[in-house]
Amino acid sequence: MITLEDVSYTYPRGERQAIAGVSVKIEPGECLFITGPSGAGKTTLCMAAAGILEHEYGGEKSGRIAINGRDVKEYSSLSEIAGHVGMVFDDPEAQLLFTSVEEEILSALERRGLRPQEIEERLASIMEVTHLTLLRERPPHALSGGQKQRLVLATTLALGTDIVILDEPTAELDEHGTESIISVLQELKASGKTIIVTEHKFARFRNLVDQMAVMEGGKIRALGRPGNLISDEFVRGVIFPDFSGIRDGKDTSHSGDRGPLVSVKNLEHAYGEVEALKGVSLDIFPGEFVAIVGENGSGKTTLIKHLIGLLRPTKGTVMVDGKDAGKAPVSDLAHSVGLVFQNPDHMFFADTVAEEVMFGIRNLGIQDPEQVLETVLDSTGLSHAKDLYPRWLSRGERQRLAIACVLAMRPRLIILDEPTTGLDGREAREVMEILRDLRQEGRTIVMVTHSRQIAEECTDRIITIDAGKIQSDIRREG
Amino acid sequence: MREILQYIHKDAFFHRLHPGTKIFLVLAIGIVTLLTLDIPVLCLILLAVLCMALIGRVLREVLQQMALILAMSVIFILITLITMPNGQVLGYLIPGGYLPVTTGALYAGVLLTLRFAILIISFQIFVITTQPRDLVNTLEKIGIPIDYNLMFLIALRFIPTLQIEATKIHEAQLARGYAPGSGFVGRIKSVAPVMVPLVSNALARTTVLGLTIDMRGYRTRKRTPFREEHMNLPDKVVCVVVGLFLIAFLGTIVLTLF
């Protein structure tokens, strides 16, 4: 059981309260679902509830937090609290310390004063619940995102706490990965654990949730049973993403006599002995907005990397904007193709937003750089952030900055890999609005996504890839 | 991707040895290697270490380091030729009497190369045949503070992760039209766009890493081992043989001093 009474917190050197006057009570065995835009204070609330802010952080604190009826201040240290509360942070990579699945789980089990016999039994049962038994010898860097996330959860379970707090456990996962996490949480709930989870995908978690908190600007804007909240317009806006009006109904499928912008013929690609693409052929015409969907590991990313020359075909040909993408240098292809990677933090290195955008402009020697900079910052809603440090922006803003960096290079084809990862419904819509505007300017867009909803409501052609092959290629009418 | 210094799960001789035995073995090899000035002895030790790799079924992984060791040897020999001319002149690097190749400098260069090769290879055999958890537990048992063990463990664990991430960042910058060129100059030029995100992302992780370590109780709770590693017969044999060799070696050194 966790109780927060009128809790406020400001980070050291923080300009405003990260959470402000938050009160919530989680009964034993209950599941609290916290949602809201990025920067709303969800992670801070989790860290407050886990006693982390009290014991590990400075800053200004007020209000009362109690874990199992005892004030967090009365616990001697964070490790004592960790006997009651387990926390899964949003970045699984930073929570894996050992070099195999089994070692990682054992490292937690061995610090609990159990007998060897008990340790062995619990190890086996935890690996079974989290579907990791077959992966016990795998090192962390050879695990998929979903597997890493399950391993972090398994290690937290190994600590044997009654309360488990999870911060966006499925943000980077595909539908299958999300489903596997939810099924583990369902078993935990059935075994009587108290669960706090922050997430964007309410629809998927619905059956698990007893109480829902919708946050905005550090405050809880709505709190209660999901059934009671769902009629509220503000809540609906947050939990049910709305993409109406993104598709403009303009028919672009038959672009007259113009030839395809992208033409892929019998593309095969193998990483060593693993065949990632097994004969893919497709044409993309100017002005199309195409979604590529498929599970993790189906070959989506491998395919799009061929369009800009980051990967070269093992067999087959790839033509983009009249250039042979199998041979042309990447810096040459970058004039025609812009690729926005999944994690925006993999590209930022400049001190200001403006410099970050200028990097690509200078590399390609784009005409009129200042003008281009103003235009792209305006079209991505980042004009206010021009002189800020890129890494201080919110997740939604960083994603838009990644798009701005690519737009500034004036490519005819824009490719985006999972552009809505970790964004809430509204932020995802902002990204889609940018893409709609680009398309209306006549650019061609290819977007890789896990979200069927986004693919169906925003794009006019859906290509489904499965096990390295195109399974279906459907153009939508109007 | 080639993985640097990662544990490889196998059922072979060195994998079965107790980590303590392996630490002793590596230390003994290190002591002899650093104390001896005798090139034939160093060659014998190098041969022995390569045989260890063969017995331990990790020869392929060890041989992957050869490019690095060869590059190093060229650099060492060049440096010693330039900075330590000594003994008989065998010829000149630049015709016309510049940069003499001397026996003394060659000897010093080869000595350095052999020492580094032996140290690198024996350390590598040790690390890739020992489960990191056993390593940490053994180090903890012989009295190394847990904070240092964790530092060592985390450094090893994050090597492949950083390799993968550096590749991703490099690709992301290439896609932004960045063409630093290949070769040495290109590598220097590509440092900022790749290293800045790599280091920033790694630093951003440290808070969560630290909290995870505390919440799992590594630094506060006592460990009850699941599998207690015991010294078995092979361990005892290795320890006795290595111990005898070490005593004999140190004995001869002490004798020559007087």
Residues B133, A98: C-beta atoms closer than 8 Å: yes
**How much is the ipTM here?**
0.87
Residues A110, B223: C-beta atoms closer than 8 Å: yes
Sign for the CA dihedral angle at A185, A187, A188, A194 comes to positive
- Which of A94, A99, A305 is opposite residue B208, by nearest beta carbon? A94
State the average pLDDT over residues B52-79: 89
| Whether residue B105 is found in the same domain as residue B188 | no
pLDDT exceeding 70 applies to what percent of chain B?
A: 97
State the average pLDDT over residues B224-243: 84
| Whether residue B18 is found in the same domain as residue B70 | yes
H-helix or E-strand containing A264? strand A262-271
Residue of A nearest to B161 (CA): A141
Confidence check: pLDDT of A252 > 60 = no
| Whether residue B121 is found in the same domain as residue B167 | no
Q: How far is CA A103 from CA A109, A135, B156, in A?
A: 10, 12, 14
Q: What mean pLDDT value characterizes chain A?
A: 91
Cβ contacts of A403 within 8 Å, gap of 6 or more: A340, A380, A414, A416, A419, A431, A434
Domain count, chain B: 2
pLDDT digits (tens, 9 = 90+) for B131-179: 888 888 888 888 888 888 888 888 888 888 899 999 999 999 989 888 7
Residues B224, A343: C-beta atoms closer than 8 Å: no
3 state SS of A412: coil
State the average pLDDT over residues B111-121: 93
| Whether residue B90 is found in the same domain as residue B63 | yes
Interchain CB contacts (distance < 8 Å): A and B: 172
Say if B219 is an interface residue toward chain A (CB within 8 Å): yes
Q: What pLDDT sits at residue A255?
A: 52
| Whether residue B64 is found in the same domain as residue B140 | no
| Whether residue B170 is found in the same domain as residue B215 | yes
Confidence check: pLDDT of B2 > 70 = no
**Containing structural domain, residue B47:** 1-130+230-258
Confidence class for position A318, pLDDT limits 50, 70, 90:
very high
| Whether residue B39 is found in the same domain as residue B112 | yes
| Whether residue B112 is found in the same domain as residue B237 | yes
pLDDT exceeding 90 applies to what percent of chain A?
A: 66
| Whether residue B13 is found in the same domain as residue B120 | yes
Say if B192 is an interface residue toward chain A (CB within 8 Å): yes
- Which of A56, A99, A113 is opposite residue B157, by nearest beta carbon? A99
State the average pLDDT over residues A2-30: 93
| Whether residue B106 is found in the same domain as residue B121 | yes
Look at the block and give the residue holding tokens 């303009």. Answer: A250
| Whether residue B126 is found in the same domain as residue B165 | no
State the average pLDDT over residues A48-55: 94
Residues B157, A159: C-beta atoms closer than 8 Å: no
Q: List phi, psi (to 5°) of A60.
A: -95, 125
Optimal mutation site among B195, B207, B226, B227, interface A, most CBs of chain A within 10 A: B226
pTM of the model: 0.84
| Whether residue B31 is found in the same domain as residue B105 | yes
Residue of A nearest to B221 (CA): A111
Residues A82, B217: C-beta atoms closer than 8 Å: yes
* CA neighbor of A165 nearest in space, from A233, A228, A86: A86
Residues B215, A112: C-beta atoms closer than 8 Å: no
State the average pLDDT over residues A406-415: 94
Residues A98, B176: C-beta atoms closer than 8 Å: no
Measured CA to CA, the distance from residue B80 to residue B104 in angstroms comes to 9
Residue B256 or residue A226, greater confidence: A226
State the average pLDDT over residues A384-393: 91
Confidence check: pLDDT of A112 > 60 = yes
User: Residues in chain A, how many?
Assistant: 478
Q: What pLDDT sits at residue A249?
A: 62
Q: What pLDDT sits at residue A466?
A: 92
Confidence class for position A298, pLDDT limits 50, 70, 90:
confident
| Alpha-carbon distance A33 to nearest alpha carbon in chain B (angstroms) | 22
State the average pLDDT over residues A189-216: 93
pLDDT digits (tens, 9 = 90+) for A61-79: 999 999 999 999 999 989 8
